[in-house]
Amino acid sequence: MPDLGRYATEVLSAYAVTLLLLVGLIAASVWKARKVLRQLREAENRRDPSA
């Protein structure tokens, strides 16, 4: 860990907020993609159960 001196709080909080927002964005994207894919498969199965 580098010595961040008197600005440690500012630097670490900037990185923490960034990581939190990026992880949140990726998680939300994956969650929505899975939900839509599951619903689409269900709708396609209802339309053509043999598929």
Partner 1 sequence: MSIWEYANPRKFMATSGALLPWVSALAAILVIGGLVWGFFFTPDDFRMGSTVKVIYIHVPAAIMGSSAWFMMLVTSLIWLIRRHHVSALAAKAAAPVGMVFTLIGLITGAIWGQPMWGTWWEWDPRLTAFLVLFLFYLGYMALWEAIENPDAAADLTAVLCLVGTVFAVISRYALLFWNQGLHQGASLSMDAQENVADVFAYPLWTCVIGFLFLFVALVLYRTRTEIRARRLRALIQRERMA
Catalog residues that contact partner 1 under the rule CB under 8 A: 1-8, 10-11, 13-15, 17-18, 21-22, 24-26, 28-29, 32-33, 36-37, 39-40, 43-44, 46-47
Q: Are 51 and 45 in contact (CB under 8 A)?
A: yes
Q: How far is CA 19 from CA 9, 12, 35, 47, in A?
A: 15, 11, 24, 42
Q: How far is the CB of 50 from partner 1 (least distance, A)?
A: 16
Q: How far is the CB of 51 from partner 1 (least distance, A)?
A: 12
| Nearer CB in complex with partner 1: 7/50 | 7
Q: DSSP character for 2?
A: -
